Amino acid sequence: MALVTLAEVLNDAYRNGYAVAGFNFYTYEDASAIVRGAEELDSPVILMASGKAIKHLGVDYAASTVKVLAERASVPVVAHLDHATDLKTIFQAIKHGFTSVMYDGSMLGIDENIKNTKLVVSVARALGVSVEAEIGRVGMSEEGEDIGEILTDPDSASEFYDSTGVDALAVAIGSAHGMQKQEASLDLDLAREIHESVDVPLVLHGSSGVRDEDLRQIARYGFAKINIGTKLKHVFAQGIRDLCNSSTYVPDPLKIVVNASQEISHVVKEKIALLRE
């Protein structure tokens, strides 16, 4: 299958009250394990490259990795650039074949966020690429520093969407990036209010820290894209640790990463199944 856009997979989810999972990847191994998990459930999947992945792989190789995996896959795959704060990276990503980009202007005032997002939308739309943007601010940045959470105001969300016409809107309702345990306390009333104010697929960031029952609930409140990163990092690292701690010495990096990535596929399947219940 070829790559698809974010809008293509989210529109069906949004209209039918389920969510599609977006997973962060950093290497070929975790990316392919994510796609394998999605294939086993016959589900579309969003592969997301954030700043660290782009720094490690390069924007060209990150795009090629997803493109090759999508061509071999039996399910639709979205190549999504996650949390880009600069326009240059966005335009490079589009040039190299990402089918979806997130412009993250959440650190800016609403006027500048709108201005930059509009520019991204005008370029991306002309080239058939989807755009996600953020209004309000999810606690903790992708790099782990405290950036101060700002819960999303439903009226601002509505103004932002009317002004930009993005394909997906990330909002802050109490989750935070990088949580080790599923203990976030989401404001579900706010989630519903935003959903009632804005007719666009919503995105939840920091979903590793959100309880399963809350994830299920917000999928019904228009959150059609659920971003999961930290959970997979832990599973991958734990898999490597377990193998290295076992009594048999495994002098084979390929065996080590392939073994560790199997656990990623399991978690991917669990999350996908949960979000489409």
> Which entry of ligand G3H, Zn ion, none binds 24, CB below 5 to 8 A by partner kind?
ligand G3H
Nearer to ligand G3H, 49 or 260 (CB): 49
Q: How far is the CB of 83 from ligand G3H (least distance, A)?
A: 6
Phi, psi torsion values for 226, nearest 5 degrees: -120, 115
Q: Is 123 exposed, middle or buried (0-12, 13-18, 19+ CB in 10 A)?
A: middle
Contact 270, 264 (CB under 8 A): no
Q: How far is the CB of 141 from Zn ion (least distance, A)?
A: 9
- Which residue, among 27, 230, 31, 21, has the nearest Cα to 144 in the 3D structure? 230
Q: Is 212 a catalytic residue?
A: no
Nearer to ligand G3H, 177 or 195 (CB): 177
Query: 202 has which bridge partners?
Result: 169, 223
Q: How far is the CB of 24 from ligand G3H (least distance, A)?
A: 5
> Which entry of Zn ion, ligand G3H, none binds 207, CB below 5 to 8 A by partner kind?
ligand G3H
Q: Does 205 bind Zn ion (CB under 5 A)?
A: yes
C-alpha span between 75 and 34 (Å, rounded): 12
Nearer to Zn ion, 205 or 271 (CB): 205
Q: Is 265 exposed, middle or buried (0-12, 13-18, 19+ CB in 10 A)?
A: buried
Q: Which of 82, 104, 153, 214 is catalytic?
A: 82
Contact 96, 104 (CB under 8 A): no
**Residues making contact with ligand G3H (CB under 6 A):** 24, 50, 82-83, 177-179, 205-209, 227-231
Nearer to ligand G3H, 15 or 144 (CB): 144
Q: Does 231 bind Zn ion (CB under 5 A)?
A: no
Task: Supply the residues annotated as catalytic.
Answer: 82
